[in-house]
Structure 1
């Protein structure tokens, strides 16, 4: 891909809010046309990791939970945060085990994505996990999770019918389906 020049200019930046997970910045800017303006940005203090576990029969495992910001229930692939500086594969393995109790012998990084590049800098890594064995799940205290085993084809139908709306889940499930010829 060709490289493009940044046509935005930051005049000043202030941190409006910060907690252990995010930081909200206010920028005074010159936009690409040279006009003065403002830009709000959310910086994440973790890297997003998602895992599409696929068993020998072609099933995958979805995690259901109530999502506070959306005020609705969401079905997703197992996912979570990787502290900056931690190995993303190690974080993906931890999240899969914590949320589903699954261990995988084979891991493939299938995607690097930006989750919402108009207002935040969050980057995510999505892995395919195969050759699965069951262990015991240990969700975090903030997680009230339900696990659903479905075929990969059924998971794609849930995406196509807008029943799975999480961007990392959509990207991961569609990419794995394409890789598997589904």
Structure 2
């Protein structure tokens, strides 16, 4: 492809709604085709942060909770939001403690700056694999969350992702990316050994 892609051009913008988590803005634009278009964008104030924890037996931790948008129960890896101005690792460490009651001696970047729904939001996601786990309750759970913690072999979590039992997109990306790294020999040997033990 030799042509330079044409950008969207913004003619005007207004804020429809804003709270501490999201801001909805409506834009009047000129699309790359040259056509006028109205565009609604949800700005997410925080980064999306996720953790794939692996214990010494090759098990991971799934968090179960009732999700409001779809009105259904969801099994997910530990994940949440963190301030954009802080390092993603710092927020991920907090999420692991808050949701799973764990801390980790070792952390490996898994996902860097993935866009979870780039047609309507500007949300950016970062995730890590964590191992060398031990108990930690430094951070209290969110008062609005009623969480169930479930320990399963990595291979079982992967099957849940492939079968559709896990529907959370961020968790799917983490599990499938980790499986790819495992299969291609791209993980540290001690971590790969643990994950294979959970297969």
TM-score normalised to structure 2 length: 0.87
Counterpart CA distance in 2 for 1:34 and 1:122 is 26
Asked if the contact 1:63/1:78 (under 8 Å) is kept, the reply is yes
Kept after mapping to 2: 8 A contact 1:11/1:27 = yes
Q: In proportion to residue count, which structure has more helix?
A: 2
Unaligned runs of at least 5 residues, structure 1? none
1:152 aligns with 2:149: no
Contact 1:152-1:177 within 8 A present in 2 as well = no
Task: Show CA shifts across 1:41-65 (max 9, x none).
Answer: 0000000000000011110000000
| Whole-angstrom distance in 2 between the partners of 1:25 and 1:40 | 6
In the TM superposition, residue 34 of structure 1 has moved relative to its aligned partner by 0.9
Give CA-to-partner distance per residue, 1:7-35, whole Å, 9 cap, x none: 31111111111000000010001112111
* Cα separation, 2, equivalents of 1:3 and 1:101: 51
Please state whether the residue corresponding to 1:106 is helix, strand or coil.
strand
- In the TM superposition, 1:5-44 aligns within 5 A as 5-44=5-44
CA–CA separation in structure 2 for the residues paired with 1:149 and 1:92: 19
Shift of 1:135: 2.9
Aligned positions of 1:37-116 closer than 5 A: 37-112=37-112, 113-116=114-117
What's the C-alpha RMSD, in Å, of the aligned pairs?
1.6
Distance between the aligned counterparts of 1:16 and 1:57, measured in 2? Answer: 49
> What SS class does the counterpart of residue 96 from structure 2 fall into?
helix
Q: Tell me, what secondary structure is at the counterpart of 1:180?
A: helix
- With the length of structure 1 as denominator, give the TM-score of the two structures: 0.94
Give structure 2 stretches of 5+ with no counterpart: 184-195
